Structure formats: C-alpha cells, structure tokens
C-alpha cells in the first residue's frame, strides 16, 4: 500500500467507527417518557377515545384486526396514505391533553417523539411551515424563471447559441435542487412519516452539497472542466454516501445536523472570503446573503417550542429564507450580466 492509500484507508476506518459511535436513538423525548401520556395512548388505542373525543380509525377488535371487513372498505385511500390512523390520532390527542394540563400547572412545552407539540390545522401537521415552504418554492421558481429569461432572451448569446456566462448550468441545477427541496419540505411538514422525512432530509443534503460545489467553482473562478470535476467528485461522493447512510442505515438527526452545519458554514466562509477580496459590482449582495444566511442558520440550531402551537424556530427559519432566496437570484442575475459584459469587452 502506498502512503496515500494507507491514509485514506485509515481515514475511512476512522469515519466508519465515528458513525458507529454517534448513532443513538433520538426518538425518545421527555414528553413520551411521561407515564400519564403513555397510559393515555394505551387507553386510547383500546377504547378509541381520549376524554370526549373518539376516532373512527380506532374500531379494532380484540385481536388487533379492524372490525367490519378489510381496511380498504372502511376508509378512503388518501386517509390510509396520510396514515391518520388510530395510533397517530391517539398520540396527537393525548399530547394535546397532556400539554394543556402542563400549561395549567405553569409547565413549559416538551417534545414528543422528537417533535414539538404542534397544533394541526385543516389536516396539516405544521401549517405555518407548509405555507412558508410553498412560498419558498414560489420564490425559487420566480427567481429561476427570471434568471432563465435574462440569460437566454435579454443577454447576447454566442454564435453557437450558448450563453457567455460560464456558470449557467450550475445555477440551473441549483434552481432545480432548491425547488425539489421546497416541494418535499411542504410535503414533510404536512404529514411527517418516515418516508416524507427521508425525502425532505435527503433533498436538503443534496442542495447543501451542490451549493458548496457552486460556491467553490464560482469563488475560485473555475472554468476548466478538469478542475471542476476534481472539486465536484469528492463532494458528490461524500454527499451520496451520507444520503445512503440516512436512508438505508440510520436517520440520525445529530449526525445529519453536524454534516449540514459543516457544509453550510464552509460555503458561507467561501462566499465571505470572496466578497472581501473581489471587486465584483454586486459584492454587497453577497455580504447581505452571507450575514443573513449565518443568522438564519442560528435559528435552525437554536430550537424553541412553537408559539401558540404554530410558529417554532424551524418555521421562522423557513420565513427568513424567502427574502434570502430573492436576494440570491438577484445576485445570480447580476453576476451573469457582469461576466457577460466583461467577456464581450475583452473580445472587442
């Protein structure tokens, strides 16, 4: 084995053992460890009622099979898909009852199964986050379309009908990955089950990984194909491994948070260093985006319970990304104009 190969082998070993150490069960929270809550859920699954409220999904016979025929004759398919079943209804209503009692005695909200006690509205689990995700999706789409129009219809094209701007393709991928994230984010906050959570999480990791690549390539003005591949390949390999790990080995929030924060901080630093070194006409937009992005990230790390059962730190974080997204696409458009005009000047 060469020295290099030995290092990377040790590196992989260390990484794998680190993964094995940091994995732990994150689903257990203070709320669901509470004996009164546990008793309530158990009682509810037997009787189908919490206090006065009863659920039709809970019509189970003693052997656990639904009474009155198979499930598809009992409730519409979309309800099955949303898994608004007995178990989830019981957990939700027991949580509401328990939290009300807690508040009466001056207690603070606690987490249940790793989540804050949110109030559902119109069948949505976290309505504020759903609305904000949809708004983010709309702003992303608007930003991407306006970038598209600028670059193909307003700015001059090369004789072979290509853009002069060298980073067009990268911004397209960025736009598509962002819209993909906000779509799954809206789905996940509507109804959180393992599948929707994995999709939201994986989309976020993919976007963060790609925007790190974009940051390196743009800040270091990498236009050479070989150099671009050299930078992208290891990041893509790492991000792919991490996504596979989350989906097929363990959905570890602690580890994922560390990976996401590391990738987020890395790109903010790259943009910040570039913003202070470059004479780019739109560098002030970069500064605002970097500082705003940093503050927004604090919201994701500093977690507080939902105000009135609706607005928590995570929802606020989704609100801050709306103006930041608008600003970011405006920077992309400025950059495209700036690069195109300086390339044309050079050509003259």
Q: Interface residues with Zn ion (CB under 5 A)?
A: 185
Nearer to Zn ion, 148 or 253 (CB): 253
Token digits of residue 195:
């599948």
Which helix (H) or strand (E) segment holds residue 158: the answer is none
d(CA 290, CA 307): 28
d(CA 195, CA 291): 33
Nearer to Zn ion, 26 or 235 (CB): 26
Nearest to 110 by CA among 37, 39, 55, 40: 37
Nearer to Zn ion, 185 or 190 (CB): 185
Nearer to Zn ion, 185 or 325 (CB): 185
Taking the complex as a whole, the smallest distance from the CB of residue 177 to Zn ion amounts, in Å, to 15
DSSP codes, 253-318: HHHHHHHHHHHHHHHHHHHHHHHHH---TTHHHHHHHHHHHHHHHHHHHS--PPBTTTB-HHHHHH
Taking the complex as a whole, the smallest distance from the CB of residue 215 to Zn ion amounts, in Å, to 22
Taking the complex as a whole, the smallest distance from the CB of residue 315 to Zn ion amounts, in Å, to 8
d(CA 303, CA 130): 18
**Residue with CB nearest Zn ion?**
185
Nearer to Zn ion, 86 or 134 (CB): 134
Taking the complex as a whole, the smallest distance from the CB of residue 260 to Zn ion amounts, in Å, to 12
Taking the complex as a whole, the smallest distance from the CB of residue 196 to Zn ion amounts, in Å, to 11
């Amino acid at each position: 084995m060469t020295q290099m190969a030995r290092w990377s082998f040790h590196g992989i070993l260390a990484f794998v053992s680190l993964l094995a150490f940091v994995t732990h069960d994150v689903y257990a929270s203070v709320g669901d460890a509470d004996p009164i809550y546990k008793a309530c859920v158990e009682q509810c699954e037997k009787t189908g009622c919490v206090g006065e409220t009863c659920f039709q999904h809970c019509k189970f016979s003693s052997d656990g099979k639904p009474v009155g025929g198979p499930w598809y004759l009992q409730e519409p398919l979309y309800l099955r898909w949303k898994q608004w079943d007995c178990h989830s209804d019981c957990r939700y209503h027991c949580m509401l009852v328990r939290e009300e009692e807690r508040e009466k005695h001056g207690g603070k909200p606690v987490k249940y199964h790793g989540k804050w006690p949110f109030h559902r509205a119109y069948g949505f689990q976290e309505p504020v986050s759903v609305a904000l995700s949809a708004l983010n999706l709309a702003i992303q789409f608007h930003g991407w379309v306006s970038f598209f129009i600028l670059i193909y219809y307003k700015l001059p094209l090369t004789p072979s009908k290509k853009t002069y701007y060298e980073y067009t393709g990268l911004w397209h991928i960025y736009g598509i990955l962002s819209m993909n994230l906000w779509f799954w984010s809206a789905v996940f906050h509507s109804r959180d089950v393992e599948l929707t959570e994995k999709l939201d999480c994986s989309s976020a990791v993919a976007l963060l990984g790609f925007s790190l690549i974009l940051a390196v390539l743009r800040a270091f003005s990498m236009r050479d194909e070989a150099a671009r591949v050299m930078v992208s390949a290891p990041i893509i390999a790492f991000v792919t491994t991490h996504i596979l790990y989350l989906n097929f080995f363990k959905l570890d929030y602690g580890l994922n948070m560390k990976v996401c924060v590391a990738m987020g901080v890395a790109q903010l630093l790259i943009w910040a260093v570039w913003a202070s070194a470059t004479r780019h006409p739109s560098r002030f937009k970069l500064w605002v985006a970097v500082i705003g992005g940093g503050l927004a990230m604090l919201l994701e790390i500093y977690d507080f319970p939902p105000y009135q059962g609706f607005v928590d730190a995570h929802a606020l974080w989704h609100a801050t990304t709306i103006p930041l997204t608008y600003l970011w696409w405006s920077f992309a458009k400025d950059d495209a104009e700036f690069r195109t005009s300086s390339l044309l000047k050079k050509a003259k």
